[in-house]
Amino acid sequence: MNKEYDLRDLKLYFIFSTVIVLFLIYFSPIIGIISLFVNAYFIYLSAKDIQQRKIDSVKEIENINADFESITKNAIFNMPFPLVITDENGKIVWYNSLFLNIFSTEEIMDENLSLLIPTIDTNSILDKMENGELDIVINKTHYKTYFNVVDVSKTQSDRNKMSMFYFVDNSEYEEIYEKYVGEFPIVVKIEVDNFDEAMDSTPSNNKPQLRAEIDSIINNYFKDYNALVRKYYDEMYLVIISYESLKQIKDKRFDLLDDLRELDKGNTIPITLSIGVSSFGLNLRDSYIESDTCLDLALGRGGDQAVVKVKDNYEFFGGKSKAVEKRNKVKARVLGVALKQLIDGANDVFIMGHKNADMDSIGSAIGVLRAVLNRNKKGYIVLNKPNPSINNIINRMKEEEEELYKLIISEETALSEITPKSLLIMVDNNKPSLTEAPGLIEKTPQVVIIDHHRRGAEFVENPVLTYIEPYASSTSELVTEMLTYMNDDLNLTHFEADALMSGIVVDTKNFTSQTGVRTFEAASTLRRAGADMQKVKQLFQDDLDTLLSKAEVIHNMRVVFDNIAISRLDKNAENSVLISAQSADELLDINEIKASFVLALSGDKIHISGRSRGDISVQLILEKIGGGGHLNMAAAQLDTLDLDEAEEMLLKAIKEYLDEGEVK
């Protein structure tokens, strides 16, 4: 563009020429006057030339603007991709032929673009007055849609805003991306988690057939998904599968678990698998490590299930059968010796169970405390305050074992005394948030977990020792078994033996549920140590108010989904957790009831106790709302005081569970 000039740009020339003219007039008036006229003429010519230049410059700019407008219009009308313009109401005011070709109808003028393409919110775009992009799909074609919003209120237009959308076909990129995602390798680790037990239960002449059939079912199953399968131990398999195939398997809810469970070659124990699956986006090494972690989680939850890592969470499939008891006691012996060494190496030991402790929690804690005292180490049980579920045993401890009673300390005291060289032992719980004092876990790197509940997604980071056996009746059973390997002499007092026995009794419902050979072996050990069943029975005696409350809960029971009982305790009683648990147990005694749930107000939360005969996994149901536990005994706590809201959440979780087809 030419620069605009005026006479001021020639001021130095005028000043110089004027000085010369004045000088000539002074020395030669005639020549000076002639020079004056000549100078004036030149000034006139310059002014005229500048004016003409201005006119020519304006014409050139006008011509460029006209050409640019013509080029712009031509470019817009001939763009190689669909284009549409809308007004301030989102109505279409102009479109090109390529945009019209997207749709089957020819009447789209004045249509609202949001109605034509629901994924485009024109109101939101116009309100924000921002340019941007969207990914949309129209008739199975993927488009990267760019939009520009323009304020036209200052123009001659009668509109305030206009938006222009242009659509770039992105289908090829999406196809490449979907191919990349679909073929991304996922690592799967599989373990036949009761291989030895199943083999031992199979007639000798059928064992080769059973082994071959297991291999055949697993290999053929993944062959259908073009997966790579490698067996590297009798009971271990490594599988590399595509992400797309994994999605198909997830849609079928890992039906491989059912295929193996139904395998019958004379084995009296059904074959169950534990499967760990890595998440999307990792390299092969990290995927292998993650799949191994998921497999550990599946085993820790009792086996017969698949655990899939999804971003920062886990998805669980299966887990609908009872964990099979393993008769091999080597693990208990090894862990018992390891725990003894950890206790010997610690300055002091702190033991804690879960919030709202029950008989199993406090009983196993008392048992572990005896193991600590047997090693001549200082030990403490962390308990903020007793609750009605354990009042009887705490009162008896105060009367009969005063020195032992003094070793019960509060969370505040424990936090002030625990050090990095202390040992923290968690019993009857493996979730940090549900412990009596979660802050203790951060104060020491040495954390031991002894529990019989199935492991959940929330877990202590890097515990030094983990003993989680979902097949066990109770944590008290596990502790009793470990005690036999930690010292030649159990050295249990009659009270301590009663405490451990009470833990077994409460979780087995008087030896009628979740019992195995080792449950009775542990009970025999405690009987020999002086456990008195009459005194144990006295620990479970209730007062009249508790009995009346349970009767009220049972009276208000209603049946949902044909065979599931639900009831509630409306009042906020001190022993509401105990009442809900005992009421849920008694509801199972009703004919044709397969599972029961009781909701109760407990402080500033609502507690839910779930019980099952084994056909329905109350653990999987309550896990959906943040709880956990066993297949036939679980619980959850909800951060609300609205029983109706809590019941709606529970009913939704039950429906999801039933829709997933987890009922046997």
Residue 532 annotated as lining a ligand binding site: no
Residue 151 annotated as lining a ligand binding site: no
**Which residue has 């596990």 as its token pair?**
478
**Which residue has 């930690």 as its token pair?**
486
Q: How far is CA 235 from the centre of its chain?
A: 29
Among residues 298, 301, 279, which one has the least CA distance to residue 290? 279
Polymer length in residues for the chain? 664
Which are the contacts of 317, defined by CB distance < 8 A and separation ≥ 6? 250, 253, 254, 257, 305, 306, 307, 308
Structure tokens at 433: 């948030």
Structure tokens at 342: 């950890």
Cα 299 to Cα 469: distance, rounded to the nearest angstrom: 9
* CA-atom Rg of the chain in angstroms: 40
Residue 261's identity, in one-letter code, is R
Among residues 143, 170, 138, 152, which one has the least CA distance to residue 85? 152
Which are the contacts of 284, defined by CB distance < 8 A and separation ≥ 6? 185, 187
Residue 360 annotated as lining a ligand binding site: yes
Among residues 267, 252, 290, which one has the least CA distance to residue 202? 267
Structure tokens at 299: 């085993």
Neighbours of 66 (CB within 10 A): 10
Residue 354 annotated as lining a ligand binding site: yes
Q: Which helix (H) or strand (E) holds 547?
A: helix 544-555
Q: What is 231-263 written as a DSSP string?
A: EEETTEEEEEEEHHHHHHHHHTT-THHHHHHT-
Neighbours of 92 (CB within 10 A): 19
Strand partners, 127: none
Task: Give SS3 for 229.
Answer: strand
Cα 19 to Cα 16: distance, rounded to the nearest angstrom: 5
Cα 209 to Cα 189: distance, rounded to the nearest angstrom: 23
Which are the contacts of 396, defined by CB distance < 8 A and separation ≥ 6? 495, 539
* Phi-psi map region of 89: left, alpha, beta (phi>0 left; psi -120 to 50 alpha): alpha
- What does DSSP say about strands 348-352 and 378-382: parallel, antiparallel, or unpaired? parallel
Task: Give SS3 for 204.
Answer: helix
Which are the contacts of 103, defined by CB distance < 8 A and separation ≥ 6? 116
Burial of 528 (0-12, 13-18, 19+ CB in 10 A): exposed
Question: Residues at the annotated binding site for Mn(2+)?
Answer: 354, 358, 360, 428, 452, 507
Question: Residues at the annotated binding site?
Answer: 354, 358, 360, 428, 452, 507
